[in-house]
Amino acid sequence: MYLFSVAKANQNKMMNDETAGLRGQKWISLTNTLDELCEWGWIEKKRSDEAANVTVYQLLEKGRKVALALKELQGGKNELLKLDSFHGINSLV
């Protein structure tokens, strides 16, 4: 959902942006999740055009569709959002 709200983000931006909700998250576990989302075709990982040796992540169309579906769930106060797996989604949607 964070990548839905920003055009693209690098590690520093994700870890230091309070709206991302990742402050307590360890980068290693987050990067594993990001790599998995890349494998699923939800996000893209690429070199930054703006800075050397920086990797940026951005949402792909498939990921945008997932984010929109989550927004719809949140708008309907869906019971699924009570699951631990969705913890923090409400604040990002």
Kindly list the structural domains of the chain, giving each domain's residue range(s) and its CATH number in brackets, ordered by start.
2-92 (1.10.10.10)
Average pLDDT estimate for 41-61: 91
Mapped onto helix, strand or coil, the DSSP state of residue 25 is coil
pTM higher than the cut 0.85: no
pLDDT at 90 (0 to 100): 54
Residue 85: pLDDT band (50, 70, 90) is low
In eight-state DSSP terms, residue 17 is -
Residue 50: pLDDT band (50, 70, 90) is confident
CB 55 within 8 A of CB 45: yes
Q: Count the helices and strands in the chain (H runs, E runs).
A: 5, 3
Secondary structure element (H or E) that encloses residue 45, with its range: strand 43-47
